[in-house]
Amino acid sequence: MSNHSGYKGKSLEFLEKHNLQVGNIVSVETDSTYSGILMPRYEYNDDKHIVLKLKSGYNIGLEIDKIKKIGIESSVNTKKETMVQPHVDPKLPKILLVSTGGTIASKIDYRTGGVTPALTAAELNATVPELSKIANIDTEVLFSEYSENLLPEHWKIIAEKINTHVKSEYRGIIIAHGTDTMQYTAAALSFSLSGIPIPIALVGSQRSSDRPSSDAALNLISAVRFLVECNTGGIYVVMHNSTSDDDVACHWGTRVRKNHTSKRNAFQTMGGSPAFIVKKDKIEKNPQFNVIKNDYIPKINFDTHVALVKYYPGLDPKILDHIISSGYKAIIFEGTGLGHIGKVMYEYVGKAKKKGLFLGMTSQCIDGMVRMTVYESGRDLLNLGMIPLGNMIPETALVKAMWALGNSKTIEDMEKIMKENIAMEFSD
């Protein structure tokens, strides 16, 4: 790695003039005084700034023309830390931690200046020593990807990995996962592994472990406690329940949604309360929460010929012609209100139905039930073959449709599956 990685032009001349290099801990005086690690820059950035990572974990850019004084406090110690393996207590239950990437499995990369999914599951386990007092943790890296890069093929790999351990000695399994698409993966596992007898916890963090406000450790500790003590099966998303560190929520995998870009309690159960709340001294079960009792017959297959169409005023209805001609077999609509789309779409909805596509209706509203018999427009869509999907979350409906299509021989079979409450995707 270059000692001035990402710097060019004026900023590079500035670093060379003051004998600075990436990794130095420096003190900088502008209108205020700052202390932090000199970070590399991205190749597309300008040449007018340097970047510091402050002790708070945040990065700031400082304009070099406004720097009055700069000096080296110390150099970063690049000596590799010795990994201390956790103590194995034969009296404790065993948990498997599978890493797929994301912020919870990230660390600072001084090559790029950001956090990257480069931390192995073993390192993650070792950085939270409290885990070894709750359970014996085995770790495995399945892949290392930001969750926005995960595809249905990855869902299948994760599900197959979990399935191989269902009858093992593990009390439960943690999937370390990025938060951006966690709800999609949770839904995919909920359907493909419906009836699973052991608990599976998808765990992420909104803030990387280099920041004092990181939620990574508490989410992990709470997930392990939940798996050890909950005495239930199913797929859950385990994340902060509030902006404080008072409690962590265990959301049912088909009823959860990420509703904030950066808050620690970004995830919420839609249409109800979380299935469980993990507190410091106890785990509280939602009294209205009851797991659907299904036989465990894993069906790990997905067909991605499903489109999610969000209706908005001005949407070109010809987009449905493109979907049909592209070989799609199902469309999930994200309609307005109780489940409506404009009448300009009706002709093309009729075409899609005649071509044999499954048509399902969800709502753009954050909460509430699709009811297509209240207004004339809804009844018109029902007559065209639209299937109302209750209060199923649009993203969950998309994933379920991919799964139902991948495990059906006909569209009629798929429609039947879509109407069944398989993994609590419908709630009261």
Distance CA 323, CA 329 (A): 9
- Token pair recorded at residue 165: 């351990």
3-class DSSP assignment, residue 10: helix
**How far apart, in Å, are the Cα atoms of 97 and each of 131, 135, 152, 190, 334?**
11, 11, 21, 18, 35
Asked whether the CA dihedral 253, 256, 258, 263 is positive or negative, the reply is: negative
Could you give the domains of the chain?
9-75 (2.30.30.520), 94-285 (3.40.50.1170), 306-419 (3.40.50.40)
DSSP string, 131-198: GGGT-EEEEEE-----GGG--HHHHHHHHHHHHTTTTSSEEEEEEE--STTHHHHHHHHHHHTTT-SS
Active site residues: 103, 179-180, 258
Distance CA 70, CA 28 (A): 4
Instruction: Provide the residue type at 226 as one letter.
Output: F
Q: How many CB atoms lie within 10 A of CB 180?
A: 17
Asked whether the CA dihedral 237, 238, 239, 241 is positive or negative, the reply is: positive
**Which stretch of DSSP H or E encloses residue 352?**
helix 346-354
Report the predicted TM-score, pTM, of the whole model to 2 decimal places: 0.84
Q: What pLDDT does 56 receive?
A: 75
3-state secondary structure 246-314: CEEEEEECCCEEECCCCCCCCEEECCCCCCEEEECCCEEECCCCCCCCCCCCCCCCCCCCEEEEECCCC
Distance CA 138, CA 85 (A): 11
pLDDT (tens place) for every residue of the chain, 428 residues total: 467 877 989 999 999 999 998 889 999 999 999 998 888 886 667 889 999 888 877 788 999 999 999 999 887 554 455 556 667 889 999 999 999 987 776 665 544 445 554 455 566 566 787 888 899 999 888 988 889 999 999 999 999 999 999 999 999 999 999 999 999 999 999 999 999 999 999 999 887 665 656 788 899 999 999 999 999 999 999 999 998 888 999 999 999 999 999 898 999 999 999 999 999 889 999 988 877 788 999 999 999 999 999 999 999 999 999 999 999 999 999 999 999 999 999 999 999 999 999 999 999 999 999 999 999 999 999 999 999 999 999 999 999 999 999 999 999 999 999 999 999 999 87
3-class DSSP assignment, residue 21: coil
